Amino acid sequence: MNTRVSKIKKSQKESLLRKEISELLQEASLDNPQLQGLSASRVELSADKGIAHIFFFLPEGEGFFEKKLEFLKLFKPSLRKALANRIPGRYVPQLIFRYDNQLEKQIKIESLLDEVKKDFKDDES
């Protein structure tokens, strides 16, 4: 299969998984308050699409996510079963939950760039 087509299909499946997982967690949080505030920020599938890394970003930080992770692990079998009912396909990937620090890195880089920009303007004056 064309690599471009396979990348597009992989990206579509990642997007679908992110959307469905976020919806399922939102529905589950009505019954289980420990899952409140969790929403998948991105999903990365392995090359064979057998493993899905689900990334979560919480404004409260990684420590807060670690507390929620225990409840996520308990909810994982139910989540996979619900995904199997919602997503077309033969297999539902194994789910691995991770904290998404990509936004924090982006904010840090932007602040460093702002400092450099400010220093550059000061040097020109």
CATH class, range 3-100? alpha beta
Domain residue spans of the chain = 3-100
pLDDT of residue 104: 76
More confident position, 85 or 103:
85
pLDDT for residue 19 is more than 90: yes
Percentage of the residues of the chain whose pLDDT score is greater than 90: 44
Angle at 52 between CA 58 and CA 49, to 5 degrees: 155
In this predicted structure, what is the pLDDT of residue 1?
53
Cβ neighbours of residue 57 closer than 8 Å, sequence gap 6 or more: 41, 99, 100, 101, 102, 103
Q: Which residues have C-beta within 8 Å of that of residue 55, sequence separation ≥ 6?
A: 40, 41, 42, 43, 44, 98, 99, 100, 102
The pLDDT value given to residue 116: 86
Q: What is the mean pLDDT of residues 96-109?
A: 85
Q: How confident is the model at residue 85, as a pLDDT?
A: 94
Q: How confident is the model at residue 93 (pLDDT cuts 50, 70, 90)?
A: very high
Query: Which residues lie below 8 Å from residue 72, measured CB to CB, with a gap of 6+?
Result: 35, 38, 97
Pick the residue with more confidence: 105 or 48? 48
Q: For 25-84, write each residue's pLDDT tens digit.
A: 999 989 888 888 888 999 999 989 899 999 998 888 888 889 889 989 999 999 999 999
Residue 125: per-residue pLDDT: 63
